[in-house]
């Protein structure tokens, strides 16, 4: 998506440890008019799917998921990060290793909000090694719901997450895929459609 690539070039900052900071417009300060365009693009890419719920993980996926969900006219449900989990049967749980914080979290979702009748679009801001997305996929599988697709704003194509998820047969669409990045250059994979 050209609008997104242009914005990453203009305002993105590459940090040590393969981190791309986009916190001036995407995941700290949020440019809502811009994110609205991302939401529209996700709608275009998944328009033919019978999506009735958007799923994300706290915290930075939530705003993007909410704007996207308005285009599908469906609710958002977000998985919560917890320090420890009481396994009382009312929730689905999985473990996610945070790429940015190098820490393993228990992630939980109430079973009230996802079940076999649901058709889910998973949304997140970044895809790096794939842990966050694999955790969300695990939760959907535990719930018996159907994964209609996964929409990622920025995929770092030089990390392994994208290949893993596509190999699983998940319909994964990333609005921009960074092939290489350094302090003074960023290159993107060509858009698919
Ligand atoms: P993964 O689980 O795929 O390794 O990493 C995805 C999660 O880590 C995303 O939800 C995002 O919050 C965070 N993340 C991974 N790489 C980056 C990055 O380069 N920049 C930022 N801002 N967040 C990232």
What CATH number does the domain containing 140 carry?
A: 3.40.50.2020
Question: What confidence score (pLDDT) does residue 103 get?
Answer: 87
CA 161 – ligand 1 centroid, Å: 10
For the segment 63-92, the average pLDDT, to the nearest whole number, is 89
- pLDDT above 70 coverage of the chain, percent: 96
- Please check whether residue 19 lies inside any domain of the structure: yes
Quick check: CB of 20 below 6 Å from ligand 1?
Answer: yes
Contacting residues for 109 by C-beta, under 8 A, at least 6 apart: 55, 77, 79, 80, 91, 92, 139, 143
- Please check whether residue 12 lies inside any domain of the structure: yes
- Residue among 19, 105, 31 at smallest CA distance from 64: 31
Question: What confidence score (pLDDT) does residue 36 get?
Answer: 98
For the segment 133-150, the average pLDDT, to the nearest whole number, is 98
Question: What confidence score (pLDDT) does residue 126 get?
Answer: 97
For the segment 130-144, the average pLDDT, to the nearest whole number, is 97
Q: Which of 39-43, 86-90, 107-111 has the lowest mean pLDDT?
A: 86-90
For the segment 77-83, the average pLDDT, to the nearest whole number, is 91
Q: Which of 30-44, 84-98, 164-178 has the lowest mean pLDDT?
A: 84-98
CA 126 – ligand 1 centroid, Å: 5
Quick check: CB of 105 below 6 Å from ligand 1?
Answer: no
Instruction: Label the pairing between strands 119-127 and 53-57.
Output: parallel
CA 120 – ligand 1 centroid, Å: 21
- Please check whether residue 191 lies inside any domain of the structure: no
* Number of domains the chain is built from: 1
Which range of residues forms the domain containing residue 110?
2-82+89-186
- Please check whether residue 148 lies inside any domain of the structure: yes
- Please check whether residue 193 lies inside any domain of the structure: no
């Amino acid at each position: 998506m050209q609008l997104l690539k242009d914005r990453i070039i203009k305002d993105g900052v590459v940090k040590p440890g393969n981190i791309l900071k986009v916190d001036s417009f995407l995941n700290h300060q949020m440019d809502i008019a811009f994110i609205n365009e991302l939401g529209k693009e996700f709608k275009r890419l998944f328009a033919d799917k019978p999506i009735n719920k958007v799923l994300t993980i706290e915290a930075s996926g939530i705003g993007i998921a909410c704007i996207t969900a308005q285009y599908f006219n469906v609710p958002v449900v977000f998985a919560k990060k917890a320090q420890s989990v009481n396994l009382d049967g009312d929730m689905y749980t999985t473990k996610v290793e945070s790429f940015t914080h190098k820490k393993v979290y228990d992630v939980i979702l109430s079973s009230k909000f996802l079940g076999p009748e649901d058709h889910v679009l998973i949304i997140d801001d970044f895809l790096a090694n794939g842990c966050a997305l694999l955790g969300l996929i695990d939760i959907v599988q535990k719930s018996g719901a159907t994964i209609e697709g996964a929409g990622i704003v920025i995929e770092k194509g030089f990390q392994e997450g994208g290949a893993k998820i596509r190999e699983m047969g998940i319909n994964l669409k990333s609005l921009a895929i960074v092939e290489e990045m350094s302090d003074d250059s960023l290159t993107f994979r060509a858009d698919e459609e």
